[in-house]
A and B are shown apart, each in its own frame.
Chain A
Amino acid sequence: MKVEHFLEKNEVREITIFKQLVLNNGILSYGKMLDHLAVSKASLENDLESITSRIEVFNDQVQVDYDGQEIKLTMSDHISLQHIYRIYLDQSIKMEIINYLFKHQEFSITQLTQQLAISDSSLFRKIKELNTHLKEFGLKIRNGQLQGEELQIRYFYFQFYYYIEDKSALIHLRSDQQITQAVQSVENFLQVNIVPENRQRLNIWLIISKSRITNKNKNYKQLRKQMHPYLKDPLYHKIHVMVLRYYSRYSIEVDEEEAMLHFAFLLAFPILTEHDFHEYTLIRDRHAPIASLDTYIVETIIIHFKFRKLPYMLERDMYYHLTHIHTRLYFFQGDIEIYEYEEMLAREKQVVGKNLVPLARTLLTTSTDKFMSTEVGDNSLLKMELLKYISLLTLISFKMATVIQIGIDLKMDGLYKDTLSQLLILKMRPINGIQIEVYQPSKSYDLILTNEKPDEEHQYQEARVYILSEILSSFDMANIQRIIQELNA
């Protein structure tokens, strides 16, 4: 599912126009824009008119000027593309349907058509469209209710409120003393520390849980099966005790599965800090599906990179992120694509080089095979988790890259020597994985850059030596880059 699925076709085109303008320094010719959108000029004109009326709310803080040749965007420093998306989403009928469902749990067609001021037939059409996108979550709107596994319902609402709807509005509206207290209770009961950004996630999750608690038709079939290996898990036990105690204070008969929902959420999203999570990894059952997959994937990565030993904290970090990824794959279906998958993939490829992406794909296939997932390939959850694997691999390869020590030892008059050395350092600084400085005889280096052949053969010990032809020339730079790559290999 994507954010744009909540918008109409013309609205998607309009935000694409904004996006293209932002990507092109705020100015783009009609021709290029028409190519990108693949529409007629008349329809582009229509879109631009519509944009003009939409952005009136910004009172000149956002301006789109067009003259038949060029389109130009100006925005004040305090407005971003996100604000613009927001006005489109705020007017979306599909968003309103989800919001209404969340608030009231169910609706009748008459109620909803009156509330939204639309006809029966367009309501049916919107619901049908929503259902095509809800399908990957295993959910559908039927008989005026959101139907499916309870875990999936809460997970969908969470993603919806965290990534699509204005989350601060939800928190403002729904977060009361009781919710704040509940967050505090989670900290007390689990003996963990919840940092501010994680607290916001937990806050939203608890708001959603509170609103769902009294719903009478909850379905846990899948969850009960998934939880089978975790019924003796120490974290689950703590959560279970907390949930039972919490609801024993109210006139609510709580389902046993309520604790299971929280367990899945707490491990699939960054709620615990790495430190608290680590404490849990020491006592969790290593043979349970998620933990054993974590270990398997860590080993696969270590073997791939031919690492002899990982730094202790890096290994802990890997487990932390992998458990999030694997818990998601284990318990959840579907996702909201918060990043443009293709763009992100292309960008990551540039940074990490080509070989990490196939490795990430292998890891994902391994994981889905282990969990015997029946998900189809074109699934947002799988796409998002692939991006996470890639990010993790990138992180690891950055952290594990050997830093190449480079010394600059220029032989010339003092003033030139200092200036040119500094300029050279400045020019080379953007290159990843190097440490560069003016040569100090007491230190050892991997590479020495100099302008004269050394007097003695081992003047620089084991270091490779490159003799610059013309300091700062692109010829030299290319050679140096090549040597760095060779040293890295």
Chain B
Amino acid sequence: MKVVIIGASFAGVAAALEVRKKHPHAEIILLEKQSTLGYIPNGLHLYWEQKIEHLDEARFITKEQLETQKVQCHLGATVQKINTTQKILHYDYSEQEELISYDKLIIATGSRQLSEKIDGSAHESVLKYKRYGEAQAALVKVEESQHVTIIGGGQVGVEAADLLNKKQKQVTLIESMDYVLFKYLDEEMIQPIEQKMIEEGIDLKLRQTVSSIETNEEQKVTVHLGEDSVTSDAVIMGVNVRPNLHFLDTQVELHMDQTIAVDRYLKTSVKDVFAVGDCIQLSGPGEDMVYIPLINNAVRTGIVAAANLMEPTVTFNGSLRTIGTSIFGHYIASTGMTEAESLFTNQKVKTRRQTVRLNSLPNSETVTLKWVYDADTEVILGAQMISTANILEKINTLALAIQTKQTLEDLQQKDYFFHPAYSPMVSTTNLVSWMEERIDEDES
């Protein structure tokens, strides 16, 4: 069996390794457009944070490691078109067109930070650094810039704002919504971060949409927003990512948003063709199909598609959009549905918010948690956390609680270890009302 995988980022690599495990004799070929492989998207942030010394260290796997698993890697191979009837791929390699046939095809081409709406955003002075090559260029450009404008207040944008601020750069952050990180946190949860951003001198422009970007001769870049404009030395695109699937033939059905339509087994509308990672919609926190381009989903869909190559056996059980990061002196984490997002569902939700201690010592730090749960059944649907201490790992407990449909009462009974130096009297994720220092009940 010959398995061809397009794209050697997290989804493609996870799929390749899982196919190898399931099918020891299969011929596995990874086609990757970039000339290197295994770069961690936004590894540039690790470099700015000084977690790594060289950008090249931001890799989760190497070509050699894959080759010991007998996965052939064709780097610098750009797929131009596929013919799903004849099961043939056309790709450019060293300026020549090559053909390759397949028995099973997994599309894992990922996504790009790209705007079709913002005039001038394709210009090279407008930095995008999801990929290694782009990151190298961005590194140099940012180094020599004093004032940087970031478009988009999502995870990438806010992290970049924090890191560049620490590097003494002047930062302008533009977000079209009322507050940053709106996909993950409800507005009241984000207040400490926004306050800190303003204290740190970030020029925060909310409810503003970028219409165009101009680059002048002195290499200054002007971002236009309605009647306002910002001129700075560099611009970073932190907008939503989108897949680029121009090579597909018409047999492969797409959704309205141009992602590939797949079933629960990640099969496309064409036999023997699968799609994973940032190319597809997933069943989201509200159980409707949404687009959630996260590495966690890329890895998990890669594994599931590999398991279903021969026959449909494993269904993909959806994404809770779990995230965790550290920004502006706070750790934030989120999983499942936010209160704001619940308006897109028929579910009537209630929420609770509480600030609790993290251990039993006198100087204990606190975490503020927000719980979103079904008003009738009290099944937990979402959780958000913000703290000055590193509480990130706790979100995984809550993600599991949501995935396994636990109720508030189940959580109160959740088993936990007690050690006064590491835990308060009742575990922070147990939601016991009398432990709270502050409680806001049933806000919705």
Measured CB to CB, the residues of A under 8 A from B are 177-178, 181, 184-185, 188-189, 210, 213-214, 216, 240-242, 244-246, 248-253, 255-256
Contact A188–B183 (Cβ < 8 Å) = no
**B72 contacts chain A at the CB level, 8 A cutoff:** no
| CB neighbors of A among B174-230 (8 A) | 176-178, 182-183, 207, 209, 211
In the bound complex, what is the Cα–Cα distance between A272 and B27 (angstroms)? 61
In the bound complex, what is the Cα–Cα distance between A437 and B243 (angstroms)? 77
Chain A residue with the shortest CB-CB distance to B116:
A253
Chain B residue with the shortest CB-CB distance to A242:
B343
In the bound complex, what is the Cα–Cα distance between A188 and B240 (angstroms)? 25
Question: Which are the 6 A-B pairs with shortest beta-carbon distances?
Answer: A188-B343, A250-B257, A249-B290, A256-B209, A251-B257, A251-B291
In the bound complex, what is the Cα–Cα distance between A321 and B430 (angstroms)? 54
Smallest CB separation, A259 vs chain B (Å) = 10
In the bound complex, what is the Cα–Cα distance between A181 and B344 (angstroms)? 7
Report chain A residues within 8 Å CB of B293. Answer: 251
Smallest CB separation, A367 vs chain B (Å) = 29
Report chain B residues within 8 Å CB of A249. Answer: 284, 290-291, 341, 344
In the bound complex, what is the Cα–Cα distance between A210 and B257 (angstroms)? 10
Majority secondary structure, B binding face: loop
Contact B256–A244 (Cβ < 8 Å) = no
Of the residues B177, B242, B343, contact of A244 by C-beta under 8 Å: B177
**B44 contacts chain A at the CB level, 8 A cutoff:** no
Contact B178–A241 (Cβ < 8 Å) = yes
Chain B residue with the shortest CB-CB distance to A252:
B257
Chain A residue with the shortest CB-CB distance to B259:
A251
Report chain A residues within 8 Å CB of B182. Answer: 245, 248
In the bound complex, what is the Cα–Cα distance between A251 and B340 (angstroms)? 19
Smallest CB separation, A404 vs chain B (Å) = 53
Report chain B residues within 8 Å CB of A255. Answer: 117
Smallest CB separation, B157 vs chain A (Å) = 13
Report chain B residues within 8 Å CB of A213. Answer: 256
Smallest CB separation, B288 vs chain A (Å) = 7
Contact B258–A214 (Cβ < 8 Å) = yes
Report chain B residues within 8 Å CB of A189. Answer: 343
In the bound complex, what is the Cα–Cα distance between A252 and B288 (angstroms)? 16
Smallest CB separation, A402 vs chain B (Å) = 48
In the bound complex, what is the Cα–Cα distance between A399 and B239 (angstroms)? 56
Contact B117–A185 (Cβ < 8 Å) = no
Q: Identify 14 residue pairs between A and B in the complex whose beta-carbon atoms are under 8 Å apart, listed by A's number.
A: A188-B344, A214-B257, A216-B116, A240-B207, A241-B177, A245-B177, A245-B341, A250-B259, A251-B111, A251-B242, A251-B243, A251-B259, A253-B116, A253-B240
Do A181 and B288 contact each other (CB < 8 Å), given the known contacts A248-B240, A253-B115?
yes
Interface string of B111-152 (1 = CB under 8 A from A): 100011100000000000000000000000000000000000
Chain A residue with the shortest CB-CB distance to B279:
A251
Chain A residue with the shortest CB-CB distance to B182:
A245
Contact A244–B176 (Cβ < 8 Å) = yes
Contact B116–A185 (Cβ < 8 Å) = no
Chain B residue with the shortest CB-CB distance to A247:
B257
Contact B258–A253 (Cβ < 8 Å) = no
Of the residues B115, B183, B241, B344, contact of A185 by C-beta under 8 Å: B344
Of the residues B243, B256, B340, contact of A214 by C-beta under 8 Å: B256
10 more contacts with CB within 8 A, not counting A181-B288, A181-B346, are A181-B344, A185-B343, A214-B258, A245-B344, A248-B182, A252-B256, A252-B257, A253-B116, A253-B117, A256-B209
Smallest CB separation, B229 vs chain A (Å) = 16
Among B211, B239, B257, B288, residue most surrounded by chain A Cβ atoms (within 10 Å): B257
Among A177, A188, A210, residue most surrounded by chain B Cβ atoms (within 10 Å): A188
Contact B290–A246 (Cβ < 8 Å) = no
Among A177, A188, A248, residue most surrounded by chain B Cβ atoms (within 10 Å): A248
